[in-house]
Copies of this chain bind each other. A is one copy, B any other.
Amino acid sequence: MQPPFRRLLVANRGEIALRVMRACGELGIETVAVYSDADAGALHVAAADRAERIGPPAAAESYLSADAILAAADRAGAEAIHPGYGFLSENADFARAVVAAGLTFVGPPAATLAALGDKLAARRSAAGAGVPIVPGLTVPLDDGEAALDLADVGFPALLKAAAGGGGRGMRRVDRPEDVAPALAAARREAGAAFGDATIYLERLLAPARHVEVQLLGDRHGNLAVLGERDCSVQRRHQKLVEESPAPGLTAAQRDALADSARRVAGTVQFDNAATVEFLLDGGGNHYFLEMNTRLQVEHGVTELVTGLDLVAWQIRVAAGERLPEAVLHAEPRGHAIEVRLYAEDPHHDFRPVPGSVGAWRMPGGPGVRVDAGVGADTMLPSEYDPLLAKLLVHDVDRPAAVARLRRALDETLIGGVQTDLSFLHWLVDEPGFVAGAYDTDLVADRWADGPPVSAEDEALAALVAAEARLAGISSSPGRADAPAARPWAEAARRAALRERPGAPRR
């Protein structure tokens, strides 16, 4: 096969940059990495054929700088740019600038990004196409009329940013009179995050499940609907675990979701990859949330059940290729689950934890896939998202996939920082999750900050520490620049803080 492009620039970092480069490697495309000063030694730089510096650590001056990235593409002679997810991936101005520079943007057309990037406008379009939307406003909330026409919305409700995503600018309000004060905070956060402080209001559907449908389209009018993913395990309205197929859906519910996703895509001129997100209520009714016009973090779940390489197809359709019948009518097989490994402390509100990774042991063997952005002794720049890696499993059905996930977690070790692995260990034995009976309240309702350490685990920890002291082990013997020593210093500082009587223990 002739490579779709000669050279492609990946305008991202971490695991997704590596993911895109792997697809390029298989397609015979040369890769260009971009990096901020915080990432000069990052894995995605090492994996590329060529690397271009784009600025200082602050994302606004590097990974979010369209100018810096276009200049890098020019220097490197790239023919196409893949934006990954986050950063500039849904930025219509950037997509337009890429095309204006004579390059190919690997993603939907700029006009589509613009149309669907306005979540409010997308709500109106979806409703117009006959797709059920979450009850609430279809116009922005003005400061003055905050208490006005909210009676129909129903409470509790959610303030949401029209330019939103990733849970930012989102606030829960339980009564109409709470809207005004929460609105100020939501506006501030949205303005800072997106440069657009437009806020609207939706009813908070709970209990509900978060289910999304994967779309892949070419530039010849073909659209593949590649099944759904359940992403209900969330903290801060951000996903931690995703699986496909969604547990317990009837065939009719699945078909209805696919039909709604098609209708939403039909409201715009669509090609490349996108995801239509829905909430499912207790009765199995679905409501359109938003459409993400980019690759999702959790695309690998769909790759495992369909056997397709979504990133390779993004690149191929961007080069004008037609989707073949095998893609348009791909049948899912088995069950896939992804868990995200984050440098976050699940025992303290999933707070991001700065530091360096120490030991790094990932699982292997049948039905296990790891997409990692870091390795042993990798520094974690505090400027970016704390996602370390994605661990995916695939097996014939959900019980087998859960058992495989449990086995894979048992093989996994990450040193240096607290991660959400402790939460994931708990999750694979949580009766509701094991039964596939869970919703977006799972983390808040059943985990909170997690159970206390068991007596057995404390006794084992004491045993290990005693043996380590006896064995004369230290964090990283014989290495002067010992990055793994730093997390310990951090831990000691936190321990000292906690020992102080009266210190807050959240």
The residues of B that contact A479 with a CB separation of less than 8 Å are 478
Cα distance A28–B402 in the bound complex, in angstroms: 12
B396 contacts A22, C-beta separation under 8 Å: no
CB contact list, A369-401 vs B, under 8 A: 369-372, 394-396, 399-400
A263 at the interface (CB under 8 A from B): no
The residues of B that contact A367 with a CB separation of less than 8 Å are 309, 369
B365 contacts A22, C-beta separation under 8 Å: yes
Cα distance A308–B367 in the bound complex, in angstroms: 9
Cα distance A454–B479 in the bound complex, in angstroms: 37
* CB 8 Å contact bits of A308-331 with B (1 = contact, 0 = none): 110100000000000000100000
- Knowing A309-B395, A478-B478, A479-B478, the reply to whether A366 touches B403 (Cβ < 8 A) is no
Chain B residue nearest in CB terms to A27: B403
Report the count of interface residues on A (CB-CB < 8 A).
41
A148 at the interface (CB under 8 A from B): no
A307 contacts B334, C-beta separation under 8 Å: yes
A192 CB to closest chain B CB (Å) equals 34
A218 CB to closest chain B CB (Å) equals 16
A84 at the interface (CB under 8 A from B): no
A44 at the interface (CB under 8 A from B): no
The residues of B that contact A362 with a CB separation of less than 8 Å are 364
A451 CB to closest chain B CB (Å) equals 22
Cα distance A365–B21 in the bound complex, in angstroms: 10
Copies of this protein, total:
2
Cα distance A287–B368 in the bound complex, in angstroms: 37
Partner of A366 from the list B28, B303, B333, B404 (CB cut-off 8 Å) is B303
A410 at the interface (CB under 8 A from B): yes
- Knowing A364-B371, A369-B366, the reply to whether A396 touches B308 (Cβ < 8 A) is yes
The residues of B that contact A400 with a CB separation of less than 8 Å are 26, 309
The residues of B that contact A303 with a CB separation of less than 8 Å are 366
Cα distance A365–B26 in the bound complex, in angstroms: 12
A188 at the interface (CB under 8 A from B): no
A45 at the interface (CB under 8 A from B): no
* CB 8 Å contact bits of A279-309 with B (1 = contact, 0 = none): 0000000000000000000001001000111
- Knowing A333-B307, A400-B26, the reply to whether A300 touches B366 (Cβ < 8 A) is yes
Cα distance A109–B172 in the bound complex, in angstroms: 64
Chain B residue nearest in CB terms to A299: B366
B334 contacts A396, C-beta separation under 8 Å: no
Chain B residue nearest in CB terms to A326: B396
CB contact list, A14-40 vs B, under 8 A: 18-19, 22-23, 25-28
A471 at the interface (CB under 8 A from B): no
The residues of B that contact A27 with a CB separation of less than 8 Å are 403
Partner of A307 from the list B300, B370, B396 (CB cut-off 8 Å) is B396
Chain B residue nearest in CB terms to A397: B326
A50 at the interface (CB under 8 A from B): no
- Knowing A1-B399, A333-B333, A479-B478, the reply to whether A366 touches B309 (Cβ < 8 A) is yes
Cα distance A25–B365 in the bound complex, in angstroms: 12
The residues of B that contact A395 with a CB separation of less than 8 Å are 307, 309
Cα distance A477–B22 in the bound complex, in angstroms: 32
A407 at the interface (CB under 8 A from B): yes
Cα distance A150–B117 in the bound complex, in angstroms: 80
B25 contacts A407, C-beta separation under 8 Å: yes
* CB 8 Å contact bits of A120-146 with B (1 = contact, 0 = none): 000000000000000000000000000
A400 CB to closest chain B CB (Å) equals 7
A481 CB to closest chain B CB (Å) equals 11
Name which of A19, A23, A366, A395 has the most chain B CB atoms within 10 A of its CB: A366
A368 contacts B365, C-beta separation under 8 Å: no
Cα distance A7–B28 in the bound complex, in angstroms: 48
B366 contacts A372, C-beta separation under 8 Å: no
B22 contacts A366, C-beta separation under 8 Å: yes
Chain B residue nearest in CB terms to A305: B307
The residues of B that contact A364 with a CB separation of less than 8 Å are 362, 369-372
A412 CB to closest chain B CB (Å) equals 13
Cα distance A485–B396 in the bound complex, in angstroms: 45
Partner of A403 from the list B26, B365, B369 (CB cut-off 8 Å) is B26
The residues of B that contact A326 with a CB separation of less than 8 Å are 396
Chain B residue nearest in CB terms to A480: B478
Ordered nearest first, which 4 A-B pairs have the shortest CB separation?
A478-B478, A25-B407, A26-B403, A22-B365
A–B pairs, 23, beta carbons within 8 Å: A19-B365, A22-B365, A22-B366, A22-B407, A25-B410, A26-B403, A26-B404, A26-B407, A28-B403, A300-B366, A307-B333, A307-B394, A308-B396, A309-B395, A311-B366, A326-B396, A333-B333, A365-B369, A365-B371, A366-B371, A367-B369, A477-B478, A478-B478
